[in-house]
Structure 1
């Protein structure tokens, strides 16, 4: 597919069905994207380094992961196409990322320079409304995940993960799922055996 078609898909995803934002708006404001391919294992952003880009995932799955000072790896979350990815903190505050984003399979994405994107977005109320909707969805997911950690059993968290991410269950290594829901791979194996 051409860059133009991918841009149209991004605009549709970004704006949602209820907002009147079209390609002409993006063209008028000079919002340019770079079409990029990341191979499995490559990082879109790296923990401890600047992360000034916003990504629109066209194909593939990524995971947000961090490594502690002791070298222990934590899987924070996953994102898959179609979807937005990046470090809001690093982009908006112009600081280094607290985590990495790793391609779990081949990833094709559009890359936007965040500063240009945000500056232009502020000139059009519809853009800001769309951005606010995306942020709301992110915060809702974060709240639900935090609630699950204190209110749900490990088995419930696993079942919720499968329910909300049916396309990821068989594509992601079990150790990453275990880390994401806050248990060991051995504990996850026990849960899976129990559910068989």
Structure 2
């Protein structure tokens, strides 16, 4: 849990009371490899902190899955649109390897917002961070080549990227696995 506290202190100042209240609401859960965190059409009830490994977001298609996001260890993960609206999620969230999460339920997070001095600021800053991630991803898809997107992903998480199957990486950067193989061959 110290990882979560360190992460949160990057965004907000937290009193001992605030941390005790927040951490008392966290539930530790371990998922197996390819464990479904959230099924398509379910409502997201948790905001989770990835203690270790990698999580992916995808839309299940008949021919292949369309991967559109990854969350790496020491970061928060949620189908945030479903979490905020409490409406069914149009995609799935799964683990790539065995993964441990610390989770807080929607209702408990609302209590954190209401009763702690850091709650609202934490919520706002997390929402701003998620917006910037989404915006940067969209701009990257429009302005950068597939090779540049691959190199960006690899340089930001070199130790974890090796755990992600190439077909998921290819889908994420918007190309076929064969095209990704050619890129990897060219840059090696």
| TM-score, length basis structure 2 | 0.90
Report whether the alignment pairs 1:55 with 2:76.
Answer: no
After the TM superposition, list the runs of 4 or more consecutive aligned residues in structure 1 that deviate by more than 4 angstroms. 28-31
Superposed CA RMSD = 2.0
- Is there any run of 5+ residues in structure 2 with no aligned partner, and where? none
CA deviation after TM superposition for structure 1 residue 122, in Å: 3.5
Deviations 1:84-119 (A, max 9, x none): 011112112111112211111111111111122123
CA contact (8 A) 1:15 1:130 kept: no
Aligned equivalents of 1:133, 1:25: Cα separation in 2: 16
Number of residue pairs the alignment of both structures matches:
188
Deviations 1:113-163 (A, max 9, x none): 112212331443422222222222222121111111111111111111212
CA deviation after TM superposition for structure 1 residue 11, in Å: 2.7
Q: Report the secondary structure of 2:88's partner residue.
A: coil
- Is there any run of 5+ residues in structure 1 with no aligned partner, and where? 1-5
* Residues 28, 144 of structure 1: alpha-carbon distance in 2 compared, 3 angstrom cutoff: closer
Q: Report the secondary structure of 2:121's partner residue.
A: helix
Q: Report the secondary structure of 1:167's partner residue.
A: helix
More displaced 10-residue stretch of structure 1: 175-184 or 53-62: 53-62
| TM-score, length basis structure 1 | 0.86
Report whether the alignment pairs 1:27 with 2:6.
Answer: no
